[in-house]
Amino acid sequence: MNILVTGGAGYVGSHVVEELLKTGDHRVVILDNLQKGHRESLLGGEFIEGDLADTSLLYRIFAQHDIEAVVHMAADSLVGESVQHPDKYFHNNVTNGLNLLNAMVRHSARYIVFSSTAAVYGEPIATPITEEHPQAPTNPYGESKLFFERIMARYDHAYGLRHISLRYFNAAGASPSGKIGEDHRPETHLIPIILEVALGQREHVTICGTDYDTPDGTCVRDYIHVADLAAAHLLALEALAEGAASSVYNLGNGEGFSVREVIDMVEKVVGKPIAREEGERRPGDPAVLVASSQRIIQELGWRPKYHDLETIVETAWFWHKEHPQGFGS
């Protein structure tokens, strides 16, 4: 299949590209504006540096590469920034996404797999969270992703554009190949922040809130290995190609770890103490976010291979040790 991967030079995107190329069955075209992504993270495929806002570029890509399917990961995804600048989030995650859908319709591309998020659920009223859980995002980022899911449903109804939304929980870890890993700038994700402390690049990790209603008072999250996440995109594309109806799936491990447990695990893996400081809660952070991924397990046969936290941290540490300055190392 000829597949366009938007945001393919980003963290999850580069791992999806690696997974698609491993099959040897697909021609992969990557579109990324490199505002957050890294050219060095691409292990193959045809890279086009450009922006989803550029509609004529999009139309050219679809026409020249005969694109049949899209994996749409390009987005802005910082929750705090989205509260300060909702315009940026609705513009990039919704308006620019519409450019993509319109190009798909114009060029008869048939399937799209979309990076959605646990943030569409907002404050959970039941755990583990299933896909039927009410969707009530508490910030513009989650709202922009939910809008896009709904727009795709309308495009399916009107134009037959079939789609699978994958609602990721916390993506973590690095490719077991050791070639690519996580390099967000600024880094806001817990595991790479703790690893920066281990590498002497930060003095300490701040625990944001110690008075939550959880066993040790810190937030509990569901970490999913980025390679397992990438494998799910392939399954989703295959299902759509075989005629599956549009759907939405959670992607998590179904097991939660507190911030303290994650720091303890990093200490175990790197073999040295991690300095920690206790800080205030971040506004809008739910106490517990844990997924039920039963639907994708049952319907698409997804089987996570790297589900234990120790393996997730080990793969991340291996990459960070080898690339202390990220992709510029």
Half-sphere exposure of 54 (CA within 13 A, CB side): 13
Q: Footprint of ligand NAD on residues 67-86 (CB under 6 A)?
A: 73-75, 77
CB of 145 to ligand NAD, least distance (A): 7
> Binding residue for ligand NAD (CB under 6 A) from 3, 5, 7, 302?
7
Spatial distance between the Cα atoms of 190 and 230, rounded to a whole number of angstroms: 20
- Tell me how far apart the alpha carbons of residues 322 and 52 are, in angstroms, rounded to a whole number: 33
In the bound state with ligand NAD, the residue whose beta carbon lies nearer, of 162 and 225, is: 225
Q: Give, as ranges, the residues between 250 and 279 that touch ligand NAD (CB under 6 A).
A: none
**Minimum gap (Å) between residue 51 Cβ and ligand NAD:** 4
Torsion over CA: 251, 124, 73, 312 (sign):
negative
Q: How far is the CB of 325 from ligand NAD (least distance, A)?
A: 17
Tell me, residue by residue from 86 to 105, as one string, x for binding to ligand NAD by CB under 6 A and - for no binding.
------x---x---------
Joined tokens for residue 188? 């806001």
- Least separation in angstroms between residue 127's CB and ligand NAD is 18
Q: What CA–CA distance (Å, rounded) separates 30 from 19?
A: 13
Q: Toward ligand NAD, which CB reaches closer, 43 or 217?
A: 43
Site for ligand NAD contains 9 (CB under 6 A): yes
Nearest approach in angstroms of CB 205 to ligand NAD is 17
Nearer to ligand NAD among residue 172 and residue 240 (C-beta): 172
- In the region spanning residues 183 to 212, those forming contacts with ligand NAD, defined by CB under 6 A, are 184
By beta-carbon proximity to ligand NAD, the closer residue of 10 and 254 is 10
Long-range Cβ pairs for the range 321-328 (8 Å, 24+): 321/199, 322/178, 323/181, 323/183, 324/199, 324/201, 326/38, 326/183, 326/185, 327/38, 327/40, 327/41, 327/183, 328/40
Complex with ligand NAD: residue 157 or 188, whichever CB lies closer: 188
AA identity, residue 157? H
If one asks whether residue 171 binds ligand NAD (CB under 6 A), the answer comes out as yes
First-to-last alpha carbon distance for the chain, in angstroms, is 34
Integer Cα distance of 175 and 13 in angstroms: 12
CB-wise, 35 or 201, nearer to ligand NAD? 35
- Active-site residue 141, yes or no? yes
Q: Which long-range contacts (CB under 8 A, 24 or more apart) does 201-205 make?
A: 201/324, 203/275, 204/274, 204/275, 204/276, 204/277, 205/263, 205/274, 205/275, 205/276, 205/277
**Minimum CB distance to ligand NAD, residue 80 (Å):** 14
| Inter-residue contact 304 to 228 (CB < 8 Å) | yes
Which residues inside 46-65 make contact with ligand NAD, applying CB under 6 A? 51-53
Report the phi/psi class of residue 137: left, alpha or beta, with left for phi > 0 and alpha for psi in -120 to 50. beta
**Residue 115 within binding range of ligand NAD, rule CB under 6 A:** yes
CA-closest candidate to residue 219, choices 286, 174, 155: 286
The active-site residue out of 141, 155, 212, 249 is: 141
How much is the CA Rg of the chain, to the nearest whole Å? 19
Backbone phi and psi for residue 80, each to the nearest 5 degrees, phi listed first:
-60, -45
| Closest residue to ligand NAD using C-beta atoms | 10
Of the candidate spans 31-39, 82-90, 153-161, 261-269, the one that interacts with ligand NAD by CB under 6 A turns out to be 31-39
Which is closer to ligand NAD, CB of 40 or CB of 216?
A: 40
- Catalytic residue list: 141
Site for ligand NAD, rule CB under 6 A: 7, 9-13, 31-37, 51-53, 73-75, 77, 92, 96, 115, 117, 168, 170-171, 184
